[in-house]
Structure 1
Amino acid sequence: MDTKASSSQGAGACNENIRIGPARPVPPLAFIYDRSTTRSHNLLDLRLTGCQNYAARWGWEVVGTWVDLGDHALEARRPQFGELIHAMRTQADRRKVICLVHNWGRLAQDGEVRSRLQRRVAEAGGCTATTFDESDERRRAVLSGVGCW
């Protein structure tokens, strides 16, 4: 008895509409951060536009922009950065999440403070990247076992 289905029985026509292949990768979520102590926002606006363009170039979905201004930009406790971390944490279990800054100095000029802020991002399930193609993804994953990839 022949158990093979022939195409004349309609099996081929049924399968023509089913496309099986690799799933389209879900793009990472970008959480843009900056800080500014000056009243003029010209440079801030340029940096934020640069972050938007960088995320678009890589196909990342921008969730939003968080900016600490004035004294908050210099303090260890930064309200907008805290809000960014909270928002990032809510998405980290579903998608890759990235805190995107123009350069490392936008987090902090002081290396110790910058490391603390990067650690908070890693603890929220993400990594930090700059528009200069720098990322702490590999370093975080190796040193702490925490990372977004």
Structure 2
Amino acid sequence: MKSAREYASDRGWRVRGEFVDLGAHALLDYNRPAWGRLLLAVRTSEALDVRLLCLVPSEQRLATLPGVRRALARELVIAGARLVSQEDEERT
């Protein structure tokens, strides 16, 4: 989490919350309580003038299966945010 906070700070992004699934929930592709809280926070955000991002170290940390990763990223976009991978951003 420290590297993500530093990454966001270096880009001038304000961190509004941290949503981390721990233990067995972190190993699942579905039934992730923190992911659900993230989606709820995005859906209920009243900050219409702010771009909402979900920052992850790498997309593989989001889910192990590519199809599930795409589904979760799509779910995030529908809720009103965009997935940003530190790994992908650093390559560009």
User: TM-score over 0.5 for the alignment?
Assistant: yes
Q: Deviations over 1:85-132 (max 9, x none)?
A: 111122266121001001111101210111111011101111100112
- Structure with more contact order per residue of length (Cα contacts < 8 Å, sep ≥ 6): 2
| SS of aligned partner of 2:83 | strand
Instruction: Please point out which of 6, 13, 16 is paired with 1:63.
Output: 16
Q: Rg larger in 1 or in 2? A: 1
Greater fraction of residues in strand: 1
Aligned partner of 1:61: which letter?
R
Matches within 5 A, 1:1-149: 48-75=1-28, 76-91=30-45, 94=48, 95-132=50-87, 133=89
Query: In the aligned structure 2, how far is the partner of 1:97 from the partner of 1:65?
Result: 13
Query: In the aligned structure 1, how far is the partner of 2:19 from the partner of 2:71?
Result: 18
Greater fraction of residues in helix: 2
| TM-score for both structures, normalised by structure 2 | 0.86
Q: Between Structure 1 and Structure 2, how many residues are aligned?
A: 87
Shift of 1:73: 1.3
Q: Is the 8 A contact 1:118 1:127 kept in 2?
A: yes
| TM-score for both structures, normalised by structure 1 | 0.55
| SS of aligned partner of 2:10 | helix
Q: Structure 2: state its 5+ residue gaps.
A: none
| SS of aligned partner of 1:60 | coil
- Give the share of equivalent positions with the same residue, in percent: 38
